[in-house]
Structure 1
Amino acid sequence: MAFNRATGKLNRPARAVRLGTAVAAVAVGVAGTLAAPAAAAEHQNTFSEALALSPSIAGHVADQAAAQKSAAAEQAEAEKAEAKKAAEEKAEAKKAAEKKAAAERDDAKRADRSAARPAFVAPVKGGDVTTPYKSGGQMWSSGKHSGIDFAAATGTPVNSVAAGTVVTAGWGGAYGNNIVVKHNDGTFTQYGHLSAIGVSVGQSVSAGAEIGKVGSTGNSTGPHLHFEARSTAAYGSDMDPVNYLRGKGVPLS
């Protein structure tokens, strides 16, 4: 019996422990419930601050994006302008090169024509020599013919036999309208009895260039060209015109 009572006394403390634990749990729960609103309030304040800052950040980002877009557009325009300029310069360079090449081709053609053109030609195309050099007669003051005559109709073109410079162009007394040309080799040629003069003193002429027209002015009995070859521009320095022309490669009939 004594043992039964002792066992009952031992059970009382166990119930007390359980009661104390329950009270502690309730206290913790109450404390947790009281602390939760404070934490929630703090979280809400942080979120509100973030919302307040977000418009400013968004505006800054938008400004940066706009600036970058503008810079990219400006760079694209600059590159486009540079490409256009380079293309124009290339086109101009090509055009200049083509123009230069064309000019060089023209120069080459002119040089070829000049090379192909004889240095000396007959003073009248197709004209026959009718009065030879040194023929005698009363028609000439010296008693002898100082040149040769080419038969040709009035108005037939008269050509310079070679390149040179005109030293006389006008009335020449017995020679009528006449022209004297000094050639590049130092010789002179005279063209007399012309119906027209087409050059002036000091003018440069080329071989075959028309300088006048056949006529019958001065001491003449009919249309023809009087032609002389001289060592100077003065009368009396004449040389054989046939030998002169043939020596220059000009065939005469």
Structure 2
Amino acid sequence: MAFTRATGKHRRPSRMQRTTARAAGVAALTTTGVIGTVAAPAFAAEPAPEQTGLTPVVTIGDSIADQIDAQAAAQQHAAEEAALRKMAEEAARERAAEAAEEAREAAEKAREAKERAAREAERKRLNTFVMPIAGSYVSTGYQAGSSLWSSGSHTGVDFHAASGTPVHAVGAATVVEAGWGGAYGNQVVLKMHDGTYTQYGHLSSIGVSVGQTVTAGQQIGLSGATGNVTGPHLHFEARMSPEYGSDIDPVAYLRAHGVSL
């Protein structure tokens, strides 16, 4: 079965003949009104396909073929644009994910750097030691013998200081005693961060209280001549406990903590 155009018209073979697949496309367009009704006499003039043994084809006009080609091209173009949009969206999501990961890594590095700095600052704070009286010197050494001391020897060292000279904590510590200490007069005892203790005796005034934390170089009182003394100075001890009799060499103790004297 074949549909033919008006006599006298001639089309290129590529435009004149279509496969049955193109015929299906034409049929679809026919439902929308693109192709008009074909004259009935043409059907009567053609023999049935089973009589000829030929595959039926449909011939259509140039304008209809052009519309079909245009529609196919538009659909292909739309599909290509959709694919490009999808690729762009996926690329944008990947970039966003990479940026988020980079930001997370940067934040983590900043947090780690901050923690390292804090640990270093704390380590420095705990390991910083200073002289109990700035610019002073030892006037009476450790374990010097004299009848002035009940034990027969000096349990600490004396630092030269006029009355009212600022006395400083030698390192970071907690105040465990602050008040009258008998022969030591007004005294302060500190528990250091490493578990050792330091004592400051014969003070004219006390500037801290029990339970208070102090830092290296913080003023804890003023030197004086309270208790059993012959003149103003600072009596300084390093101890293994807060009690009398647990003393260790205070000069060696300070030097071991980086103090030059």
TM-score bracket for this pair, using the shorter chain length: 0.5 to 0.7
Task: Give the aligned residue type for 1:126.
Answer: G
TM-superposed CA distance for 1:113, in Å, is: 10
In our comparison, the structure showing a higher alpha carbon Rg is: 1
What is residue 154 of structure 1 aligned with on the other side?
A: 163
Q: Distance in 1 between matches of 2:142 and 2:162?
A: 21
What is residue 201 of structure 2 aligned with on the other side?
A: 192
Q: Which structure 1 segments of 5+ residues have no match?
A: 1-104
TM-score, length basis structure 2: 0.53
Q: Distance in 1 between matches of 2:143 and 2:121?
A: 39
What is residue 239 of structure 2 aligned with on the other side?
A: 230
1:204 aligned residue (194, 197, 213): 213
What is residue 250 of structure 1 aligned with on the other side?
A: 259
Task: Give the aligned residue type for 1:212.
Answer: G
Task: Give the aligned residue type for 1:243.
Answer: A
Q: 1:153 to 1:118 in 2, by over 3 A?
A: farther
Q: Distance in 1 between matches of 2:238 and 2:125?
A: 24
1:140 aligned residue (137, 149, 164): 149
Q: Distance in 1 between matches of 2:125 and 2:175?
A: 24
Q: Distance in 1 between matches of 2:164 and 2:241?
A: 28
1:177 aligned residue (168, 173, 186): 186
What is residue 8 of structure 2 aligned with on the other side?
A: none
Q: Distance in 1 between matches of 2:182 and 2:226?
A: 9
Structure 1's consecutive aligned runs of 4 or more residues displaced over 2 angstroms after TM superposition are 111-118
Q: 1:188 to 1:112 in 2, by over 3 A?
A: closer
TM-score, length basis structure 1: 0.55
Q: 1:112 to 1:189 in 2, by over 3 A?
A: closer
TM-superposed CA distance for 1:152, in Å, is: 0.8
What is residue 11 of structure 1 aligned with on the other side?
A: none
Deviations, residues 70-115 of structure 1 (Å, cap 9, x unaligned): xxxxxxxxxxxxxxxxxxxxxxxxxxxxxxxxxxx9xx79x76984
CA RMSD of aligned residues (A): 2.5
Residues 1:122 and 2:124 are matched in the alignment: no
Task: Give the aligned residue type for 1:215.
Answer: G
For the residue of structure 1 that corresponds to 2:238, the secondary structure is strand
Q: Which structure 2 segments of 5+ residues have no match?
A: 1-113
Q: Distance in 1 between matches of 2:125 and 2:245?
A: 35
Deviations, residues 216-246 of structure 1 (Å, cap 9, x unaligned): 0000111100000000001000000000000
Q: Distance in 2 between matches of 1:115 and 1:137?
A: 39
For these two proteins, the number of residue pairs brought into alignment is 149
TM-superposed CA distance for 1:153, in Å, is: 0.9
Structure with the higher helix share, 1 or 2 = 1
TM-superposed CA distance for 1:119, in Å, is: 1.1
